[in-house]
Chain A
């Protein structure tokens, strides 16, 4: 799985971008998006996904159920 940013709630404050350990977050058309290929849910890096921890709007950086759960490399 990966996280996604709900565009309608994103304030474009950019706080998440530098916190992502995988450089998976970029700005597109005024809001920020997460590249599902790069997102690891911060597993192996931090206790909690950094984008969600720093986001000023609750429930804006959320798990995207459209993708399978991230598996940390053994």
Chain B
């Protein structure tokens, strides 16, 4: 285990407006050719929260993939298996001694696995966590620089756990050579990390690439990489494979340029764009860490994401997780599934009970959407320009079901008369450790959600309650174990009523645009 520990990399902060299911559906519709060709990226035949008029096979691809659907990430879990240690390029934000700190394929792992160990682990996790629906191979190197290990793993898993979706995340250099094999294993989600489409920019990010038995450097290397990435992207989208593009935002190097990247990948059929902040510190031992290259501020990140959002859907719920992460996106249960532990687990892979469990999840999800729609209807006609943020303590399932003091992160929703919209997450350290409060930690939490008007929790103690009120944040525990969006809308309606009656005066919460950096205690 390196100093870059569990989930410390979840820094996509300042996230505003994640990929709402409706938007995703619209995007898919366009992806399938039934949308308009307008520049907005929004299709004319997009559907509502359900399958609507979407082709079933596309709906099946995204409805339970936590990375491709913000809405799904509240309900479904993923896991990564670290079977691919080798890499074929060098990035200035990665140090293989400590592994890669950035990206959703960061190389941080506790142990490497053989394909056979990985297959066993997948079965063990799938039997323990029935909502685990997605298996990704994301490193710690590049999956396609280790093609035998990667495809052997897919082969073993597709035989024993045919209901699990397979995906991989690559730098794209070797991608064109493997597209047919990827399609052959029914891998229907591929993420490509594309940080530039201009080799001059690329030369500042990639010192070298290794291709066809030769190390290339400088602009030549970056040209090779960008050509191969874009070719691979086109080949995948031609085959109907959904592609997400990850980009690391590096201020002064590719920040402005990422708008060009966004256009280039959109025009080649990419489904989703995930712009993540550079994570950079000297202790990571990376070129950028050592030369003082900074990461973006939350405001800079949000501004860039916003400027690209008109063009295509932006992922805002990424936690930049480890190459061996297990669980819902906001959690990491990898420590429960070490090789030693999984080898001792008697696996009873029961497809039927997994199915039954997931059917229950779907029921819950439908109920959640219905509750939200019902509550939203009561907002109809309310006219107000007020927009505000709330923080929610949740363990998942779209419910307010976490104790304030146990929350490791808060999910943030933006409320307006058009409803409740997921706009990101704030990681906080455990406020409550050992059952009693700790003042410094409480201050940390308050700083992290300082732009929120209220915090919704399942339960909260008297002391933190008073401190939150003093800080101007209303603690709300009356909706314990109820649906987040429905409760938030109900609360917002009451808030508007109080404003309209003159009982309270609406005040902006400081600078609502400022987001606390996610790395409160930097790795």
> Are both chains from one complex?
yes
Question: How many A-B pairs with Cβ below 8 Å?
Answer: 42
Q: How far is the CA of A11 from the CA of B140 in the complex (A)?
A: 11
Contact A57 B97 (CB under 8 A): yes
Closest-by-CB residue of A relative to B147 is A18
Contact B213 A15 (CB under 8 A): no
Q: A56-B96, A57-B96, A57-B97 are in contact. Are A14 and B86 (CB under 8 A)?
A: yes
Q: How far is the CA of A50 from the CA of B213 in the complex (A)?
A: 7
Q: A57-B96, A57-B97 are in contact. Are A13 and B214 (CB under 8 A)?
A: no
Q: A13-B85, A14-B86, A15-B88 are in contact. Are A54 and B210 (CB under 8 A)?
A: yes
Closest-by-CB residue of B relative to A46 is B213
Partner of A48, one of B90, B112, B145, B215: B215
Does B141 belong to the interface (CB within 8 Å)?
Answer: yes
Contact B141 A15 (CB under 8 A): yes
Give a binary string over B207-237; 1 marks a CB under 8 Å from any A CB, 0 the rest: 0001001110000000000000000000000
Q: How far is the CA of A14 from the CA of B215 in the complex (A)?
A: 17
Closest-by-CB residue of B relative to A45 is B213
Partner of B210, one of A11, A13, A14, A53: A53
28 A-B pairs, CB-CB below 8 angstroms?
A11-B85, A11-B96, A12-B85, A13-B86, A13-B87, A13-B140, A13-B141, A14-B85, A14-B86, A14-B146, A15-B85, A15-B86, A15-B87, A15-B88, A15-B145, A15-B210, A18-B86, A46-B214, A47-B214, A48-B214, A53-B210, A53-B213, A54-B86, A54-B88, A56-B90, A56-B96, A57-B96, A57-B97
Q: How far is the CA of A34 from the CA of B94 in the complex (A)?
A: 26
Q: How far is the CA of A12 from the CA of B112 in the complex (A)?
A: 10
Q: How far is the CA of A48 from the CA of B112 in the complex (A)?
A: 29
Inside 8 A of B88's CB, which chain A residues have their CB?
A: 15, 54
Inside 8 A of A48's CB, which chain B residues have their CB?
A: 214-215
- A-contacting residues, B144-159, CB 8 Å: 145-146
Give a binary string over B115-150; 1 marks a CB under 8 Å from any A CB, 0 the rest: 000000000000000000000000011000110000
Give a binary string over B472-506; 1 marks a CB under 8 Å from any A CB, 0 the rest: 00000000000000000000000000000000000
Partner of A19, one of B90, B140, B146, B213: B213
Inside 8 A of B146's CB, which chain A residues have their CB?
A: 14
In the assembled complex, the CB of B147 is this many whole angstroms from the nearest CB of chain A, namely 9
Interface centre among A14, A18, A47, A56, by most chain B C-beta atoms within 10 angstroms, is A56
Contact A54 B96 (CB under 8 A): no
Contact B97 A54 (CB under 8 A): no
Inside 8 A of A11's CB, which chain B residues have their CB?
A: 85, 96-97
Inside 8 A of A13's CB, which chain B residues have their CB?
A: 85-87, 96, 140-141
In the assembled complex, the CB of A39 is this many whole angstroms from the nearest CB of chain B, namely 16
Contact A53 B86 (CB under 8 A): no
- A-contacting residues, B48-101, CB 8 Å: 85-88, 90, 96-97
Inside 8 A of B141's CB, which chain A residues have their CB?
A: 13, 15
Closest-by-CB residue of B relative to A19 is B213
Q: How far is the CA of A3 from the CA of B85 in the complex (A)?
A: 22
Q: A13-B141, A15-B141, A15-B145 are in contact. Are A56 and B87 (CB under 8 A)?
A: yes
In the assembled complex, the CB of B208 is this many whole angstroms from the nearest CB of chain A, namely 9
Inside 8 A of B210's CB, which chain A residues have their CB?
A: 15, 53-54
Interface centre among B85, B86, B140, B215, by most chain A C-beta atoms within 10 angstroms, is B86
Q: How far is the CA of A40 from the CA of B92 in the complex (A)?
A: 31
Inside 8 A of B145's CB, which chain A residues have their CB?
A: 15
Give a binary string over A26-70; 1 marks a CB under 8 Å from any B CB, 0 the rest: 000000000000000000001110100110110000000000000
Q: How far is the CA of A56 from the CA of B87 in the complex (A)?
A: 8
Give a binary string over A1-31; 1 marks a CB under 8 Å from any B CB, 0 the rest: 0000000000111110011000000000000
Inside 8 A of A18's CB, which chain B residues have their CB?
A: 86
Closest-by-CB residue of B relative to A17 is B86
Closest-by-CB residue of B relative to A16 is B86
Supplied contacts A11-B97, A48-B214, A54-B86, 10 more A-B pairs, CB within 8 Å: A13-B140, A15-B86, A15-B141, A15-B145, A46-B213, A46-B214, A47-B214, A53-B213, A53-B215, A56-B96
Contact A54 B85 (CB under 8 A): no
In the assembled complex, the CB of B295 is this many whole angstroms from the nearest CB of chain A, namely 22
Q: How far is the CA of A16 from the CA of B140 in the complex (A)?
A: 15
In the assembled complex, the CB of B92 is this many whole angstroms from the nearest CB of chain A, namely 12
Inside 8 A of A53's CB, which chain B residues have their CB?
A: 210, 213-215
Q: How far is the CA of A53 from the CA of B145 in the complex (A)?
A: 14
